[in-house]
Amino acid sequence: MGEPPELTQAVMDESETEAGKSENTQTQSPPARFNGMQLSTEELISKSIAPVKKEFLRPPPTSRSTTSDSKDDYANSEAPRSSGMIQEKKSKRQLKRERHEKLKSALNLCPSVARTGEISSCIYADKCRFSHDLEAYKSQRPADLEGECPFTYAQKPCPYGVTCRFYGTHKDATNENLDALKEGSEINMLKKDVQRLLWKNNMKFPKSNAVLKQLGVEGRGHTRVKDSEEEESIVPDGSHCSEDKGCEKYDSSDKHGASAVLPEEPLGSDDRRPLKKSKSDIDERNSSNDLNNVTGTSVTVEGLVKDSTKDESPITNDQLPPETDASLKFHPRERKLIDFRGKLYLAPLTTVGNLPFRRVCKDFGADVTCGEMAMCTNLLEGQASEWALLRRHKSENLFGVQICGAYPDTVARAVELIDQECSLDFIDINMGCPIDMVVNKGAGSALLTKPLRMKNAIQAACASAEKPITVKVRTGYIEGRNRADSLISQIYEWGASAVTVHGRSRQQRYSKLADWEYINTCVKKAPASLQVLGNGDVFSYLDWNKHFSDCPELSSCMIARGALVKPWLFTEIKEQRHWDISSGERLDILKDYVRFGLEHWGSDSKGVETTRHFLLQWLSYTFRYIPVGLLEVVPQQINWRPPSYYCRNDLETLMASESAADWIRISEMLLGKVPLDFKFAPKHKSNAYDSAENG
C-alpha cells in the first residue's frame, strides 16, 4: 500500500536522534506551562495533565481545534471548488433515485461475472440487478492501489476478481481453486435457511419456551415467535434447520456495510423478507396465550433443568422433543466452565472492536476475545448486519459473543439460537451498557433498576444453552447508589459462570476514574465458585499488577479503551515492561489492520472504503497515546490530557495529531486517496476527561 511522496521521507527517516530534535525545539519551546501557568510535574499530574518533557513542548495553537472542526476544514479544502453555491439537503426521493442510478452503472458489476470473468456464470442472467457489461467496467474501473492483494498475501484466490483494487497482483487461479474459500478463516456466518426461518417467524425455540413457561414469563409478546401449537413442521426433526453447531457458510452481508469473503448472489423475488405483522395481530395472539402457569418468580436454575411443573394434563417423555427432555440436559454446575483467571481479556468494544482489530490484539497476546455487542431483537429478526457481529476468526481460540436484551424471552431465545448455530466458548449478557438508545428500551444498565427482570433473564438464558453464560454489569445506575455488590451473590445463584464489574455507574459513563475499591468489595462478597472480573482504566502492566495485589481473589481484568489506544498493551503486561514503540512499528500495526480489514470487508472499492472508515474510527483513539520517551513520569494514565507537543519525527507527530484531517492523511498513506464525496465524523466521544452526561 503506497504512501504519498511528500510523506515518504518522514515515514522512513527513523535515524533522527532525540538530541537533534531537542536542539530544534528548545529555541522555540517554552518552559513547562499550561494555560500560561508554569507548573511542576506534580502539579501537572494533580490536574490530570500529561507531564511531557520540556524539550518537546510547543506553544498551544491560538484556537484549539476539535476533531469535528478539523473534519469540516478537510472537507472544505478537499471538496470540488467548481461551484460556490450552498448545497441543499437532498430529499429521500432524490437519494433513492441516485441509488437506483448507481445500481445501473457499469461500475456495479455482478459479483459472479467479476469473479469468473464470464457473463454466463450468473444464474440470474437478464434478471440480475447488477451490470454484466464487463468491457464497460474495465474501461471505467478505478486505478489499482499500491501493494499486494490481501488474499494473494494469504495465498488464497481473490473472490473479487476484476473488481479487486489490487487486481494487477493477482495470480492465475482456476475456478476449482475458488472452492478453497469455503474453508475460510472466518466462521459463524448466518445461514440463508436460518435467516429465512427467522424472517418468516417460523423458527422454533423448544428449550427457551419450556423455560419461559416454567418462569411464568411466556407470551409477553416481546419477540415475534409463534406458539408451538400453531407452528407447522418446517424441518423433519422439529428443531433448527441445521444439525451442526458451526455455521460455516459465507454471507455477503455485514454489519459494516461491505461484502464478506464470498460475494453472494442477490436473492430472488421469492426470498424477499416478509412484511412485519401488525401490532393488533400480535396483541390478539398474545391475549390467547395460557397464563395460568404464572405462580411466582422464585424459581431456581436447578428447578428449571428439571420438569417439575404439574399441569392438568401431564406430558410424558414420549411427547417431549429431545431438546426439552430433562434427562439429557446439563446441570448448570456440570457445564464446561471457562477459566478466566489470569487471562488477558479483550473487552467487547462497539464499532472499533471488530474482527480485524481483534486479530491485531491476538497477535500482541490477548488470550480471550469477545465480539461486539449484538441486540437480541435484531438477531431474532434475522438481520445479517447484526449476525455479522458474531463472526469469529480461526486465531480466536477462546471466543465469546456479547448480547443485549430487555426481556427474558428475547434473551433466552437469542441465547438458544446462538448456542445452536454458532461456534463459541461462552455467551456474555451486557447488563451495563450506558447508551441512551439501549437504556431507553429497558436493556443494558436499565436492568440494574429491575432486579426481577434481570433475574428472569439470567435464569432463562442459563437454562436455554449448554455454553457458559457470563454477565457484565456496572456499579449501579445512578452515581453514589451502587448496587452491584448486593446482586453479585444472586447472579451466581441464577446460574451465571462469571461476572464482570465495570467500576463506573451508568450516570458516569466514562467520566472520572473507575472505582476499583468498590470492584474489590464486589469480589470479596462473591461466592468462591464465581469468577469476578474487573473492568476500567487498565493502561499499563503496573495497573494490572496493582489490581491483583490489592485483591488476590480477582479472577482477571477486562481491557477495553487501553487496548484501543495501544493494542501492544497485552505484550507489555506479559513481558512486564514499558514499550517505547517507534512510529515505524506503529505504522506496521496499521498496515496489518488494513490487510485484515480488506480480507474481512473486501478488497473491492466498497471494501476499501469500509476499511478506511473503521481505520479512522480507530485512529480517533490511537492519537491519545503519548510515546514513553516523551514523558517525565512513566507510565501514562488514561485520564491524562496531553499539552501541545512535538514528537521525535514527523510521522510520530502526525500520529499524535487530534485533527481528523491528519487521520485521513494517514489513511491515504495506506489506502490511497479518499473519494471526492468522502465524509467522516468520529462516532464515539468517550475521552476519560469528557464531561459526564447525566441520565
* C-alpha torsion sign, points 455, 460, 466, 472: negative
Q: How far is CA 692 from its chain centroid?
A: 23
DSSP lists the bridge partners of residue 535 as 502, 558
Look up residue 693 and give its three cell numbers. 452526561
Active-site residue, selected from the candidate residues 370, 433, 551, 557 = 433
Task: Find all residues with CB under 8 Å of 541, minimum gap 6, and list them.
Answer: 572, 573, 576, 577, 578
Q: Which three cell numbers stand for residue 78?
A: 478537499
Residue matched to cell numbers 393488533:
280
CB-based contact 634:46 (threshold 8 Å): no
The C-alpha cell of 356 is what? 480485524
Residues 398, 338: contact at Cβ < 8 Å?
yes
The two most distant CA atoms of the chain are separated, in Å, by 91
Which residues make beta-bridge pairs with 405? Answer: none
Measured at the alpha carbon of residue 469, what is the angle toward residues 465 and 430, in degrees to the nearest 5?
A: 120
Which 8-state DSSP code applies to residue 154? T
CA distance 516 to 527: 19
- d(Cα 560, Cα 548) in Å, to the nearest integer? 17
Are 505 and 475 in contact by the 8 Å Cβ rule? The answer is yes
For 113, counting Cβ atoms within 10 Å of its Cβ (0-12 exposed, 13-18 middle, 19+ buried), the class is buried
**Which three three-digit cell numbers place residue 171?**
495470480
For residue 657, what is its C-alpha cell?
495529531
Q: How far apart are CA 99 and CA 352, in angstroms?
A: 28
d(CA 450, CA 434): 15
Q: For residue 11, what is its C-alpha cell? A: 515515514
Beta strand residue intervals within 175-260, DSSP E:
186-187
In 3D space, the residue among 657, 649, 663 whose CA is nearest the CA of residue 8 turns out to be: 649
**Annotation says 433 is catalytic:** yes
Question: Rounded to whole angstroms, how far apart are CA atoms 503 and 537?
Answer: 9
CA–CA distance from 78 to each of 451, 608, 661, 675, 678 (Å)? 53, 19, 10, 10, 9
Residue 340: name the closest of 465, 500, 462 by CA: 500
For residue 57, with 0-12 CB atoms within 10 Å meaning exposed, 13-18 middle and 19 or more buried, which class applies?
buried
As a dihedral over the C-alpha atoms of residue 172, residue 173, residue 174, residue 178, rounded to 10 degrees, the angle is -160
- Helix, strand, or coil here: 102? helix
Residues forming the active site: 433
